Copies of this chain bind each other. A is one copy, B any other.
Amino acid sequence: MDFRSFDAFNRRDLIRGAAMLGAGAMAMRPLPSLAANSQSAAIRKAAEAGKDASIKRLRDWIALPSIAAENRNMAEGAAHMAELARDAGFANVEIVPTDGHPGVFGTIDVGAPRTLGIYFMYDVKQFDPAEWSSPPLEGRMVDRPGFGQAMMGRGAVNQKGPEATFLAALHAIRAAGGKPPVNIVLVCEGEEEIGSPHFRQIATRPNILSALRKCEGIFIPAGWQDKNGNVSVNLGSKGVIELELIASGEKWGRGPKADVHSSLKAMVDSPAWRLVSALNTLVTPDGNTPAIEGWFDNVRPLSDREKALIREAAKHLNEAQQKQLLGVSHWIDDLPYEDALIRLAQEPTVNIEGLVAGYTGPGGKTILPGRAVAKLDLRLVPDQTRAEAEHKLRTHLDKHGFSDVEMNVSGGYDPTETDENSRLIRTELATYRRLGVQANLNARLAGSWPGATFTAPPVSIPAGHFGIGHGAGAHAPDEYYLIESTNPKVAGLVDSTMGYAEFLYTLAAIR
């Protein structure tokens, strides 16, 4: 339902070995110097000269955490974002109101034939300073063995670090006396971490929609190189719905409205058992295939090309290592690895994220809970849609007699796909090639991000992720973003800055 899913999959689970298609152990060339022309050299010189300013820019941004879930620093965060955009050369920067928290929009129009869209988030995930080894708002430099010196702070990699690095590229181009080789459209939201509930309002605002539709494509800056320097180029992502199913005496009209003593079970119905009964209708007995009526009506099987991409990518993966890191000894149905990876991309899922009812502490407590909650995420594949899925789940529950079981949908995205032949993806691949970075084509990310806001009508442009560099700890304590790399395969701040510059010039030049 949100970018964090994607991010978590690529960063947190990468550490757990789950970055399915980016964890190969390819022999890598060291990072080369960028395209050997004088313009490039001037930009690099400017990026080096501006490094301290770039670091300060990131540190200052980390010091201002905007957290939509806590309604913390939202107006301040939007204002700061607007200021960052103006400083980097964006014109007509405006703070865009929504029914929730505001977004930011700006453009750089250099009169170039091509235009690139850039998607930013200015919000960060909640955090508990007590869990951190370094104060999460101070952006201190810490050593990350195997990588180098990194800035530690909330939002460091998710997503302020990569975003600030993209801005650093614009500063460097300007400082080198040039201007970007493509026009740039920036759209930014402050609710990514709560599932982008109002982002569509921003993207479809007439002036913004008009600007986005001129773009070759749009990406979010990302710093997801693994320790071998590899990255993934994602051609699509599953959609997702996050929701709670709630059985309660209140809505059911049976059972207690609040917790009562458990001895009463012999005369009082149980909302917890009702939830179990409702859940049991949603999947096959093995828990692995959705059994919601009509769920597969619009499921389009993977194409042969997509399957081939997955099989190709699998060659770079280490099944035994991944199993060990995930703590998994068998894939579903004991599938061979390649088939499991195809299943991963192909199948919609109904997953239990959490169960909460009654007493949840240590030991027991003799109560009959008045309310029971299952937190589910439902991953969707093309051509399912979020609206269709929500409707089918509700209809299914009603038809099975569970019309009292509440569906509390907190967020979701449609599935998204981007053509590998689009100029955006071709530019990503060409840029990575020029940077000497191994990029694996990922047919479909099993995680989810709001790419469909861009790829679906009315915007209808390619969307993806781009960037070199490295960080980890998204949503977790001790989040960091690499500044000074000691790993020759992984980019530090200046090389990452040059990566974005390289992308812009490649996009301007590619056929």
A9-B261, A244-B364, A354-B360 known; A266+B349 contact, CB < 8 A: yes
Residue of B254, B326, B344, B349 touching A260 (CB-CB under 8 A): B326
Contact of A5 with B262 in the complex, beta carbons under 8 Å: yes
**A270–B351 CB distance below 8 A:** yes
B-side contacts of A255, CB under 8 Å: 328
- Please state if A265 and B351 are interface contacts (CB–CB under 8 Å): yes
A352 cross-chain contacts in B, Cβ below 8 A: 270, 272-273, 276, 357-358, 368-369, 372
Is A479 interfacial (CB 8 A cutoff)? no
B330 touches A253 (CB 8 A): yes
Q: Give chain B nearest CB distance to A321 CB in angstroms.
A: 15
Determine the chain B residues whose CB is within 8 A of the CB of A24 once the complex forms: none
Contacts of A49 in B (CB 8 A): none
Residues of B within 8 A of A332 (CB): 266-269
CA distance A5 to B365 in the complex (A): 9
- The copy count of this chain in the complex is 2
1/0 per residue A365-376: CB within 8 Å of B? Answer: 111111010010
Q: Are B344 and A353 in contact (CB under 8 A)?
A: no
Is the pair A343, B276 in contact by a Cβ cutoff of 8 Å? Answer: no
> Are A326's CB and B268's CB within 8 A?
yes
Partner of A277, one of B69, B258, B287, B362: B287
A364 close to B356 (CB less than 8 A):
no
A257, A285, A344, A364: most-surrounded residue (chain B CB, <10 A): A364
Name the CB-closest residue of B to A258.
B327
Q: Is the CB of A242 within 8 A of B366?
A: yes
**CB–CB B379/A344 < 8 A:** no
9-residue interface stretch from A10-18, A37-45, A202-210, A453-461: A10-18
Docked complex Cα distance between A276 and B345 (Å): 25
Residues of B close to A283: CB separation below 8 A: 273
The verdict on A261 contacting B8 (CB below 8 Å), with A267-B332, A352-B273 known, is yes
Within 8 A of B (CB), among A314-346: 326-332, 335, 340-341, 343-346
What are 9 A-B contacts with C-beta separation under 8 Å?
A: A13-B260, A13-B261, A69-B362, A69-B363, A256-B327, A263-B445, A263-B447, A266-B344, A276-B287
The 4 A-B pairs of least Cβ separation, nearest first, read: A273-B287, A257-B327, A263-B446, A272-B352
Residues of A within 8 A of B (CB): 1, 4-5, 8-9, 12-13, 16, 18, 69, 194, 238, 240, 242-244, 249, 253-258, 260-270, 272-277, 279-280, 283, 285-288, 326-332, 335, 340-341, 343-360, 362-370, 372, 375, 377, 379, 410-411, 445-448
